[in-house]
Amino acid sequence: MKIIHCSDVHLGASMTTHLNFEQAIQRRDELLHSFFKLVEYAVKNEISVILIAGDLLDTEYADSKTTGILLDIFRAHPEIDFYYLSGNHDEDNLILHSASSVDNLHIFGSDWTSFYFNGIRLTGAVLGEHNASLYSKLTLDPTEFNIVMLHGDEVHGRDYDTPDTVNFDALKNKNIDYLALGHLHSYHEGALDKRGTYCYSGCLEGRGFDECGPKGFVLLEINENGETHKFVPFASRQLHEVEIDISELSTLPEFVQALEQKLSDIPSQDFVRVVFVGTYDENSRKNLKISTMSFKDKFYYFEFKDKTKMQINLDDLEHDISLRGEFVRTVRASGLSRQEQDDIIYLGLATLNGEEVN
């Protein structure tokens, strides 16, 4: 039997952090379309079970358009059973109140609930603030294939009650074969104990540059020999953060060539952030803004961050009889920490050198 395990779709997210108004609307629609495509993938591949391990919606107050389309998708596919566990973003959301009208949408509550299909037992619960007793009440038949679904980050030891966490130690030796998890936005899996495997499916689509890399879902296959699972990349757009060291670059053509080499394999529909690092001579021009201009139109979204540092001896400059020397002495006389002083000095010197700084 094949099962889809997904999580953290975050439908209805604002998407305004990096994008303009029109792009934000488009990107919200793309997130919704990705979930629609996932269901179509299930239909095409004769998959009759989809596990949603939390944060299907971005907030509990999801807009009526989003929840209406979701309910339409569920109702349009009675051949698929959707098993839905709310996460820290969508707990008590509006779709829960409409669930009674959708026969194939099965929702987990704050206590252990089990569903049985095709020789597989699926058990899940929405964790709260006092979970020690909940963990102790989990009892699974060792003769069955057991899937447990939870939402939260991994913790160990006696940490039962930290919000948005799952205590892995409390789940060991509980006869779990596959622990289907949500909350982390990148695919991650490993051994839970001698019997079972845990797996974070990651999100369907990245939404910010803290979510770079492939995004998608997990395809779980169960037969008489046990289970196998694999990550299926599925995002319509991917986010990339690319680092370029400028220490050996000096001319505009060299900057452009370095960018072309680093960005040549990235599809035009993706998001790109270039992070410039390294050192540069105080008398040189970094050419960052000019060198990146031709790349802004090559990708759906493009930006750059300047994390370079001017190569200069501040101790020598502190004794210099000049405007720059006076600036350094003034900052050194402040009550700030040495690191804060250095940061201000580098920014100030870059400004005095005619550079555009953040």
Residue 355 has a pLDDT of 67
Residue 60 has a pLDDT of 59
Instruction: Determine the Cα angle at 79 with ends 77 and 83, to 5°.
Output: 80
Run of H or E including 351: helix 338-352
Mean pLDDT over residues 289-306, rounded?
94
Q: What is the mean pLDDT of the chain?
A: 90
Digit-coded pLDDT (tens) for 239-257? 999 999 999 998 899 999 9
318 pLDDT more than 70:
yes
Residue 22 has a pLDDT of 87
What's the one-letter identity of residue 345? Answer: I
**Contact yes or no for 57/10 (Cβ under 8 A):** yes
94 pLDDT more than 70:
no
Q: How far is Cα 20 from Cα 76, in angstroms, rounded to an integer?
A: 33
- Annotate 303-322 with DSSP letters as a single string: EEEE--EEE--HHHHTT-SS
Residue 240 has a pLDDT of 97
Mean pLDDT over residues 180-195, rounded?
96
Residue 116 has a pLDDT of 96
Residue 310 has a pLDDT of 79
Q: Which of 92-101, 217-226, 300-309 has the lowest mean pLDDT?
A: 92-101
Digit-coded pLDDT (tens) for 196-240? 999 999 999 999 999 999 999 999 999 988 899 999 999 999 999
Helix axes 338-352, 323-332, angle to 10 degrees: 160
- Annotate 194-223 with DSSP letters as a single string: SS-EEEE---SS--STTS-S--EEEEEEEE
Residue 88 has a pLDDT of 67
**Domains of the chain (ranges, CATH numbers):** 2-233 (3.60.21.10), 239-352 (no CATH)
Residue 206 has a pLDDT of 92
Residue 356 has a pLDDT of 65
In which band, very low, low, confident or very high, does the pLDDT at 266 lie, cut at 50, 70 and 90? very high
150 pLDDT more than 60:
yes
Residue 86 has a pLDDT of 86
Highest mean pLDDT among 58-72, 84-98, 193-207: 193-207
Mean pLDDT over residues 6-12, rounded?
90
In which band, very low, low, confident or very high, does the pLDDT at 61 lie, cut at 50, 70 and 90? low
3-state secondary structure of 17: coil
Mean pLDDT over residues 7-12, rounded?
89
Residue 97 has a pLDDT of 56
**Contact yes or no for 208/18 (Cβ under 8 A):** yes
Q: Which of 95-99, 109-113, 138-142, 263-267 has the lowest mean pLDDT?
A: 95-99
User: pLDDT: is 164 or 354 the higher one?
Assistant: 164
Residue 93 has a pLDDT of 58
